[in-house]
Chain A
Amino acid sequence: AQKVTQAQTEISVVEKEDVTLDCVYETRDTTYYLFWYKQPPSGELVFLIRRNSFDEQNEISGRYSWNFQKSTSSFNFTITASQVVDSAVYFCALSEGYSSNTGKLIFGQGTTLQVKP
């Protein structure tokens, strides 16, 4: 069975601190996709990144970076020099790699990040 675990329920940091959000996943598939989404108070889930199981390269996008390690089944997300606007709930998600199932996302419980000025 597929499962995504975000052990950190809430994190509070002061602006300009770096913060890492953890994500651990379980799947028996060899082909799968991992995602991170941000949910601000408005409710809409904002797409941040999608990685496939064959691409373990870490990725950096501005202040955001992602560390994918298949050996530990983790896909962690780091925000460098956090800002108040980064305050939101962050979700990690997993989908199978087969066409009929790639439209089904399994979400973790989410991590609420509060960045204080």
Chain B
Amino acid sequence: KAGVTQTPRYLIKTRGQQVTLSCSPISGHRSVSWYQQTPGQGLQFLFEYFSETQRNKGNFPGRFSGRQFSNSRSEMNVSTLELGDSALYLCASSLERGGVNTEAFFGQGTRLTVV
């Protein structure tokens, strides 16, 4: 069974540009969550999508957005990139049983560098 796939693995962008990251969840998983990992702030929750709807959102500015498609694949977009957006972006997928998410399985992440 294939795991969570994130593309691209590495990305270098210039300040002010925008970027789109992609995540393909494990087959059958309808919940996809995104996290930002930086040395200073650690792992922080960005948002969760379930059945194409944003179900939960972390404390990030509106420049960070996402969406989920009918096949559960998800994208996140960051507009007007800032140097502080340099981070490892991790995507996780999980099943929902009885209205509760089971354990989340993570992809290898996209390493974004803003210069």
Please report A residues at the B interface, Cβ cutoff 8 Å.
35, 37, 42-47, 50, 91, 95, 97, 99-110
Say whether B56 contacts A104, CB under 8 Å: yes
Given contacts A100-B55, A103-B101, contact A91 B43 (CB under 8 A): yes
- Among the listed A47, A97, A101, A109, which residue makes an inter-chain contact with B105, where contact means beta carbons less than 8 Å apart? A47
**How many chain-B residues does the 8 Å CB contact rule pick out?**
29
Q: Can you list 20 A-B pairs with a CB-CB distance of less than 8 A?
A: A35-B104, A43-B108, A43-B111, A44-B106, A44-B107, A44-B109, A91-B43, A95-B101, A100-B55, A103-B33, A103-B48, A103-B56, A103-B94, A103-B101, A103-B104, A104-B56, A105-B35, A105-B45, A106-B45, A107-B43
Q: Does B42 belong to the interface (CB within 8 Å)?
A: yes
Whole-angstrom CA separation of A71 from B101 in the bound complex: 25
Whole-angstrom CA separation of A104 from B56 in the bound complex: 7
* Inter-chain contacts of A100 with B (CB < 8 A): 55-56
Whole-angstrom CA separation of A67 from B58 in the bound complex: 29
